[in-house]
Amino acid sequence: MTAGPLAVVGASAAGLAAAETLRRSGWSGPLTLIGDEPHLPYDRPPLSKQLLHGTWESERLLLRTAEQLAPLDLDLRLGTRATGLDAATRTLTLDGSTSLTCAGIIIATGVTARTLPGADGLDGVLTLRTLDDAVALRARLAGAGHRLVVVGNGVLGCEAAAVARELGHDTTLIGRDALPMARAVGPEVGALLAEEHRTRGVRLRTGDVAEFLTGPVPGTVGGVRLTDGTELPADTVLLAIGSEPAVGWLRGEPALDTTDGLRCDAYCAAAPGIYAAGDVARWDHPLHGVPLRFEHRMNATEQGMAAARNLLAELAAESVPGTDAPERRPFAPVPYFWSDQYGIKLQAYGLTAGADRTETTVLDRAARSAVALYGRDGRATGVLAAGLPPRQVRALRAVVATPLPWEEARARARAVLAPA
């Protein structure tokens, strides 16, 4: 196999899965794991739920302790930022000066939170992407009677708004779409979520932020003004308006396509010896026939493992051509995401966004229980379940494991819901 170290850029769920898979798959050479945060790899979904709520402490989010990482024999470089890559020589530049030439590289740098003009330097305007972000927001919500405005009614904004209300805070949720999570779940499920948020006391507003209001203390936020002139007072403003793939450090490399993430083939390869995994990767899904970039936790782990195995297979073939090296395998998962809001658990398989056809069956409006089927071009591509038992949720996954003709998938979904 090609001499030289392997490097994983991104001490994330995807990056850790890649590093562990490299070791399990037989890589015994030098292995560097690079992360721009000072923390050991941790789980992100609890940031907007258990950690923000106060039911978990930061230590519980660690994916591995230092003792558990020790057997991997990593060259662990935390608090270190990758700033450049020469794809031809597989050479990384770290923090602007240090270079590391590698046999292979896996990029798992994830995404960065979007912000708005005027937010920088204004105390009380926060994002929620990192552990430090979540700890800062939690500290602000520790008291009573806080006024929180959440800008963005996607998954993250909805989850944070739900936690804030459960903690007793005055909460307003603003979105460009009239219904929460509408682009991901469709209008019917979005309407159920809107009902639940309103019932719990969250004020829902539709609009865009025109500017931030200043608080009584200079340099602090006092709320937001919408483009229609409405002023919403707040002690804290959380920006949950989406994210950008963390590829800025790669844009000087002409061999790489960084349009909406790092473009990869079906094997998660962006260039020879360079692979990507997790939120940053946009790869050719073999079953759906379109490039996908999926910002969800299960995909991060699965893709990290797949990228690691395929990198080692490429390096083995590169080292001794013509031998019976392991073959690379296309990465073809059934996409999955979940969201917890109040007592509601949403679970979705396949592709739900961008559907041109949606059919929702509300099983129990009071319990916010429903099933939705999503399709495109005559085929079912995704399914969502809210408030269903695990057995039925698992059965629904099989309905969209591969895209089926709409009527066939519809019949299968109805069979899953039929009384035993």
Residue 287, amino acid: L
Name the β-bridge partners of 225: 211, 231
Query: Are 324 and 316 spatial neighbours (Cβ–Cβ below 8 Å)?
Result: no
Is the predicted pLDDT of residue 371 greater than 70, yes or no? yes
pTM (predicted TM-score): 0.95
Cα 290 from Cα 294, distance rounded (Å): 12
Is the predicted pLDDT of residue 1 greater than 50, yes or no? no
Going along the chain from its start, the domains and CATH numbers come out as 6-112+244-319 (3.50.50.60), 115-241 (3.50.50.60), 343-417 (3.30.390.30)
pLDDT digits (tens, 9 = 90+) for 131-158: 999 999 999 999 888 999 999 999 999 9
Q: What percentage of the chain exceeds 70 in pLDDT?
A: 98
Mean pLDDT of all residues belonging to the chain: 95
Q: How confident is the model at residue 290 (pLDDT cuts 50, 70, 90)?
A: confident
Q: What is the pLDDT of residue 321?
A: 66
Cα 385 from Cα 191, distance rounded (Å): 15
Is the predicted pLDDT of residue 257 greater than 90, yes or no? yes
Cα 107 from Cα 45, distance rounded (Å): 20
Q: What is the pLDDT of residue 306?
A: 98
Q: How confident is the model at residue 419 (pLDDT cuts 50, 70, 90)?
A: confident
